[in-house]
Amino acid sequence: MPKIRVLIVDDAVVFRRLVADELARDPALEVVGTAANGRIALAKMTQVNPEVVILDVEMPEMDGLTTLKELRKTHPRLPVIMFSALTERGAEATLDALALGASDYFTKPASAEGADACLAVIREQLIPQIKALCARDGHAASGAVRRNFIARSPPGPAPPSPAVTRFPPGPVRVMAIGASTGGPNALAEIFSQLPADFPVPIVIVQHMPPMFTRLLAERLSAHSAIPVQEATSGALLEPGMAWIAPGDYHMIVTRDGTQTRLLMHQDPPENSCRPAVDVLLRSLAKVFGHDSLNVILTGMGQDGLRGCELVREAGGQILVQDEATSVVWGMPGAVARAGLADRVLPLSFIADEILRRVRQYQRAT
């Protein structure tokens, strides 16, 4: 199998060398070039013809966002993974990059953490992302770039999905969404189509570190009729509101007499994730039984699969994003292949299907 051709763009020579040396140790990868800024990288594109670009955010002469804008003019489907520091400014810039068409990102460890921490990020996060985005792990979609942050997919009739044999679901009293790679843009598209009078609460797990989840909630809320906020322990679930699990915390729902509240905790990661979709869905299956609607969007890995098994056993409903519109068809693909999904849908049809199901079962109560 041909090696994946990687171009590394970063102004720090030590960091470029560290990443290049580690990637070169993987037999599936080939570093075809490095560049100290975006201007040099753009000049090298036709020479090295990379299959994926690793792009720093803050660089002299031409920064990562400007470089990404120029790349998208000539390479609209080329996977681009952003470097970002775990700072307020870095998180804002990363969300800007995702909105502009970046495929994914990873956070740079602080310099005080040393080379070992950086190598761990490269091995455990960056290399698997490269392989997934370049369809070397069997779970990636064709084409990594999908749409702008609040853009909508073209309209059209939804394709048929295989029917899932199951007992009738209950009325929808809560909706859960799980997402990872590509999730921010997918969430933005869905939330741009939900009305202010959405009749049930929404709980979301998006794989992101601290600070990123708060900023994502603020951005979604700014472009949605539904208020979206980063969740806090004790928050009362109310219709027409949405909560995103904070980075580095699992989120669950609990009964408090006749009310339902959110609880955050820091139990060990599951599926190498905290927050994890499985943790949230387990609690929904226990608390809401067959009264939940669950949506699994684009993302790498299989987080959400075990939770969906429990949701299915409890009688809850499950929608998953299809492969063609997913940045990486890992999480939704795992649920679909397991036969757990009621519908497998393009992103542009998911909001309508959510509204149809919520309103149908609301009318039935």
- pLDDT by residue (tens digit) across 326-347? 999 999 999 999 999 999 999 9
The answer to whether residue 161 is domain-embedded is no
Last residue of a domain, one of 76, 109, 133: 133
Per annotation, catalytic residue among 84, 180, 292, 348? 180
Per annotation, catalytic residue among 56, 104, 303, 342? 303
The chain-wide mean pLDDT, for the chain, equals 89
**Number of separate domains in the chain:** 2
Q: What's residue 200's pLDDT? A: 97
DSSP string covering 297-319, please? -SBSS-TTHHHHHHHHHHT-EEE
CA pair distance 321, 265, nearest whole angstrom: 28
Burial 224-238 (b: 16+ CB within 10 A, else e): bebebebbeeebebe
Rounded to two decimals, the pTM is 0.87
Distances (CA, A) of 167 to 136, 288, 309, 316, 317: 38, 16, 15, 10, 11
The answer to whether residue 64 is domain-embedded is yes
Per annotation, catalytic residue among 104, 139, 207, 250? 207
Clarify whether residues 182 and 260 are in a common domain.
yes
- 285-306 pLDDT, tens digit each: 999 999 999 999 999 999 999 9
Q: What's residue 96's pLDDT? A: 93
Per the structure, the complete domain to which residue 122 belongs is given by 4-133
**Is 250 designated active site?**
no
Clarify whether residues 211 and 314 are in a common domain.
yes
**Is 207 designated active site?**
yes
β-partners of residue 53 are: 7, 80
**Is 303 designated active site?**
yes
CATH number at residue 259: 3.40.50.180
Burial 71-95 (b: 16+ CB within 10 A, else e): bbeebeebbbbbbbbbeeebbbbbb
Please state whether 4 falls in left (phi above 0), alpha (psi between -120 and 50) or beta.
beta
CATH number at residue 125: 3.40.50.2300
CA pair distance 97, 92, nearest whole angstrom: 9
CA pair distance 77, 102, nearest whole angstrom: 10
Q: What's residue 177's pLDDT? A: 98
Clarify whether residues 261 and 318 are in a common domain.
yes
